[in-house]
Structure 1
Amino acid sequence: MNDEQFDESGVVTAVAGAEDRAFEAALRPRTLTELIGQDRVREQLSLVLDAAIARGSTPDHVLLSGPPGLGKTTLAMIIAHQVAAPLRITSGPAIQHAGDLAAILSGIGEGDVLFIDEIHRMSRPAEELLYMAMEDFRVDVVVGKGPGATAIPLEIPPFTVVGATTRAGLLPGPLRDRFGFTAQLDFYDAADLHRIVRRSADLLALDLSDAAGHEIASRSRGTPRIANRLLRRVRDFAEVRTGGVLDEAAARAALDLYEVDAIGLDRLDRAVLTALCSSFGGGPVGLSTLAVAVGEERETVEEVAEPFLVRLGFLARTPRGRVATPAAWRHLGMAVPAGLDQLTLGTDDPS
């Protein structure tokens, strides 16, 4: 939610960029039947919502976890649409005081869906207030300070919290336990990503060839958000360079221009692998040293580049530092050093 702006209560008030808003609105599925991929989650969530609708009750609170870009915000919007309820959107970092959350909850209507993105980043006092609101549909608002402070109970109509997190392990147990349904979103396979790209192209009235769609899907790192972003870049390239022709050659040329290789590695990913293999002989090397070598912040390397490289089996974390695997050397077109010991790989490096 990097482009969103929040008012004093933490509720979204605007999203920067009219084009981005229109693009996202055009591509987001509005119902579970329109959602591509995540078959297990879709079926489970459908049962939860259909049962609640049949009983005429508010659905259980829902926790959505998984890496960025897999559709957590989209699913929150679908939940609100399926139960025909208003959706209120806020973010964990915007709720740093219990009063911030109390201000949001005071405006909740019966059956409303409250979506809290990055819920693990809420402050502890706000979390404790949310416990009571989710379980008892009431909160105690403290007025005043010191010995004269008074707790005023505030009744809240039944509502549904949809929490989204990229780091479920950071959620305290009492908060996790208050969610009636938890969904773990997985990365998408190439076939589902191709269907997503095909659907997006149709919605945007783009004459995209199947081969071009497969090319985009294969470089999208298993993530729909990235697939749609690459589709935009291919569209731009085609409009400027090829007279609007969106074929495989145009897609490949566009993605090469934007430094996205055949399996989705970008400039930063390749810089990390190149530094590991060329500058440090494959490692092990500490994360801070590796970040300096590629000219990026430590957090950027750890949170942006590393997860995908580890998932591909190109990089491993060991007690002594980061290590390039034989697959990384081969992907860079370099000879694998003799005697590279794969048995030392696979243990997380706490640094």
Structure 2
Amino acid sequence: MSFDRDLVAPDAEGDERLIEAALRPKRLEEFIGQARVREQLSLVLQSALRRNRPPDHVLMSGGPGLGKTTLSMIIATELSVPLRITSGPALERAGDLAAILSTLSEGEVLFIDEIHRMARPAEEMLYLAMEDFRVDIVVGKGPGATAIPLEVAPFTLVGATTRAGLLPAPLRDRFGFVAHMEFYDVAELEQVLHRSSRLLGLQLPGDAAHEIAGRSRGTPRIANRLLRRVRDFAEVRADGVVTRDVASAALNLYEVDAEGLDRLDRAVLGALLRKFGGGPVGLSTLAVAVGEEPETVEVVAEPFLVRQGLLARTPRGRVATAAAWVHLGLTPPPDAFGASMVVDLEDDLGHA
């Protein structure tokens, strides 16, 4: 069994990157959400402009699709400087990084996506470049090797990572400003959807935006993707008119439920509940039960299920919470993980 994750996958590939580029805000004032990060970053940039110096290096951490690349582009735009883009996996050798650093112009912004995946030699070269704006080029091998210092124009490094814990402390400490990107709430995603719908020339009522936002897993990239699928559905089956019912029908057709779970998410929960009584069960066994690789279950499905409180990782294995039983329309057993919380919530609702 194989599941198509494209609709709710947080990563963007292929043609979608071009579509994203058209929908991206260009200035900090246009950026929706992340209010704390926006305010802090605005102060950093305004201070740098007043001092006429490049700002401190910036590290942005958080899940895919939350706006790290967009903010890096905005930083360069606000500073009116060029932007150079690369990624950690592309920097396999120190020479790869040296080639980029040596051609930077003064004040330029260098954006390294997935910076935690840089090769160690390039990473060690970056330490010196960030701190002293120079790199040492090693010529020759063995005892006869010579290090030639090369000056680098002052620049601003913007690093993005989805796994900040994998960054070595010496690299993390060299960033003057660290921003953690939070998942969006429904109201913020509604603003994102209204802005995108205007750019797409689509009339989007408030209740339809709310419906889409509620299924977008707290991620603008997913919200925009779902919006385009709703637009397609409306054009073919609703004369181009988007309503809440049309949005709901479209997303149901694409098997994205009211909580944002897709087929793989529900398959994982269904196997855990119906085949293993709610767990605990090992990752490999659970992956076999849904016909996927363990890495797919662990990296793709589990983070969202854990964040929604539907699944728990324990030393004995994966366990479905009482909320997972309820989500699939089943009655949780008295000893279900978190059952007391569900009972308390039902009692509170009953007395409300």
Give TM-score, length-normalised by structure 1. Answer: 0.91
1:27 paired residue number: 23
Q: 1:28 to 1:133 in 2, by over 3 A?
A: same
State the number of aligned residues.
332
d(CA) in 2 for partners of 1:253, 1:115: 40
Cα offset, 1:2, TM superposition: 6.9
1:48 paired residue number: 44
d(CA) in 1 for partners of 2:47, 2:217: 35
Q: 1:130 to 1:343 in 2, by over 3 A?
A: farther
2:162 paired residue number: 166
d(CA) in 1 for partners of 2:323, 2:300: 20
d(CA) in 2 for partners of 1:343, 1:246: 39
Query: Which structure 1 residue ranges, 4+ long, deviate > 3 Å from structure 2?
Result: 1-4, 341-345
Cα offset, 1:294, TM superposition: 1.1
d(CA) in 1 for partners of 2:283, 2:231: 37
Does structure 1 residue 251 correspond to structure 2 residue 281?
no
1:190 paired residue number: 186
Cα offset, 1:61, TM superposition: 0.2
Q: Secondary structure at the match of 1:183?
A: strand
5+ residue gaps, structure 2, are: 1-9, 342-352
CA displacement 1:273-325 (0-9 Å, x = unmatched): 00110111000011111111111121111111111111111000111000000
1:274 to 270, 273, 290: 270
Report if aligned partners of 1:275, 1:293 keep a CA contact under 8 Å in 2. Answer: yes
Report if aligned partners of 2:88, 2:118 keep a CA contact under 8 Å in 1. Answer: yes
2:345 paired residue number: none
Identical residues among aligned pairs (%): 72
1:331 paired residue number: 327
Does structure 1 residue 156 correspond to structure 2 residue 152?
yes
d(CA) in 1 for partners of 2:296, 2:46: 41
2:103 paired residue number: 107
Cα offset, 1:57, TM superposition: 0.4
Report if aligned partners of 1:318, 1:344 keep a CA contact under 8 Å in 2. Answer: no
Q: 1:341 to 1:89 in 2, by over 3 A?
A: closer
Amino acid in the other structure paired with 1:111: G
Q: 1:72 to 1:98 in 2, by over 3 A?
A: same
Q: Secondary structure at the match of 1:33?
A: helix
d(CA) in 2 for partners of 1:238, 1:23: 19
Amino acid in the other structure paired with 2:293: E
1:202 to 185, 194, 198: 198
d(CA) in 2 for partners of 1:335, 1:21: 43
1:294 to 275, 290, 294: 290
d(CA) in 2 for partners of 1:215, 1:62: 35
Does structure 1 residue 93 correspond to structure 2 residue 85?
no
1:11 paired residue number: none
Report if aligned partners of 2:321, 2:337 keep a CA contact under 8 Å in 1. Answer: no
Give TM-score, length-normalised by structure 2. Answer: 0.91
Q: Secondary structure at the match of 1:141?
A: strand
Report if aligned partners of 1:277, 1:324 keep a CA contact under 8 Å in 2. Answer: yes
Q: Show the 5 A alignment for 1:121-136.
A: 121-136=117-132
Cα offset, 1:340, TM superposition: 2.5
Report if aligned partners of 2:84, 2:109 keep a CA contact under 8 Å in 1. Answer: yes
Report if aligned partners of 1:92, 1:122 keep a CA contact under 8 Å in 2. Answer: yes
What is the root-mean-square deviation in Å for CA atoms of aligned residues? 1.7
1:179 paired residue number: 175
Report if aligned partners of 2:322, 2:336 keep a CA contact under 8 Å in 1. Answer: yes
1:217 to 198, 213, 217: 213
2:350 paired residue number: none
5+ residue gaps, structure 1, are: 5-15, 346-351
1:57 paired residue number: 53
